[in-house]
Amino acid sequence: MYVIPAIDIRDGKCVRLYKGDYAQETIYADDPRTVINIFATQKFPWIHIVDLDGARSGERVNQNIISSLASAYPESIEVGGGIRTSEDVAKVLSFGVGRVIMGTALTSMSEKEMRTLFATWGEKVVVGVDVRDGKVAIHGWRETLNTTLLDFISLLEDCGASRAIVTEISTDGTLAGPAISLYTELVQKTSLSIIASGGIGSLQDIRAVSHAGVEAVIVGKAYYEGLISLETMASFTN
């Protein structure tokens, strides 16, 4: 298992939200480029970047910043937020991004459209599934569908997806620990590679998700709050 450090961008700044609430935001850096330069010193295989403005609006709001970040860490960042079409995928990849994350858009696609998407882009497209009370949440976590996580994961697997980032919203930004039982169940019930996101607050939390069998875990606030060092995060990678 490896660790993926996270940069969430809102209004051009590096921020973190609490439980996905845009009204509960902490700003950690005015320029995300200073943060990615720090991450780059440890040679993480991937850096996770989310355009929070894009996630809400459905448009690529911070694409100029993301393009700059990609040039600093070419082919090794994954980007989500506001990516809704195959054309969006192509555009973001053209910046030098290694892979893109699609979530909300997939919930409105037909099975045929999803099959075409994954057949076209393969592992360049990572599924982003945000979960609230076992159901799939979309549009920047503002809307919850009746679709269960397991049903959606099963559909994605059938349509050719290979990897999913799964965020339990109730834990995100809380530092209170990840949803271990959720990730354990997913690893057991799907062949998708699962990346855990949300709730990491300690080294013990990282070890716990590792034991659950996930491919990787995303760490954001715990680093920014000084609870986990870069060296500790990178030790799972190197």
Instruction: Tell me the average pLDDT across 214-226.
Output: 96
**Percent of the chain residues past pLDDT 90, beyond the cut:** 74
Whether pLDDT at 104 is above 90: no
Instruction: Tell me the average pLDDT across 6-13.
Output: 93
Structure confidence at residue 225 (pLDDT): 95
Structure confidence at residue 238 (pLDDT): 55
Whether pLDDT at 105 is above 70: yes
Query: Please, is 186 exposed, middle or buried when counting C-beta atoms within 10 Å of its C-beta (0-12, 13-18, 19+)?
Result: buried
Structure confidence at residue 75 (pLDDT): 85
Give domain limits for the chain. 2-235
Query: How many Å apart are CA 151 and CA 218, to the nearest integer?
Result: 23
Structure confidence at residue 91 (pLDDT): 93
Please give the CATH number for the structural domain made up of 2-235.
3.20.20.70
Tell me, yes or no, if 130 is annotated catalytic: yes
Per annotation, catalytic residue among 53, 130, 172, 205: 130
Q: Which two tokens stand for residue 66?
A: 């993301």
Structure confidence at residue 21 (pLDDT): 77
Three-class SS string for the chain? CEEEEEEEEECCEEEEEECCEEEEEEEEECCHHHHHHHHHCCCCCCEEEEEHHHHHHCCCCCHHHHHHHHHHCCCCEEEECCCCCHHHHHHHHCCCCCEEEECHHHHCCCHHHHHHHHHHHHHHEEEEEEEECCEEEECCCCEEEEEEHHHHHHHHHHCCCCEEEEEECCCCCCCCCCCHHHHHHHHHHCCCEEEEECCCCCHHHHHHHHHHCCCEEEECHHHHCCCCCHHHHHHCCC
Instruction: Tell me the average pLDDT across 131-152.
Output: 86
The candidate with the shortest Cα–Cα distance to 135, out of 105, 162, 167, 157, is 167
Query: How many Å apart are CA 186 and CA 36, to the nearest integer?
Result: 30
Instruction: Tell me the average pLDDT across 65-84.
Output: 90
pLDDT tens, position by position, 191-209: 999 999 999 999 999 999 9
pLDDT tens, position by position, 26-66: 999 999 999 999 998 998 999 999 998 877 777 777 888 99
The average confidence (pLDDT) of the chain is: 92
Whether pLDDT at 73 is above 70: yes
Report whether 218 contacts 194 (CB < 8 A): no
Structure confidence at residue 235 (pLDDT): 93
Structure confidence at residue 173 (pLDDT): 82
Per annotation, catalytic residue among 8, 51, 53, 172: 8
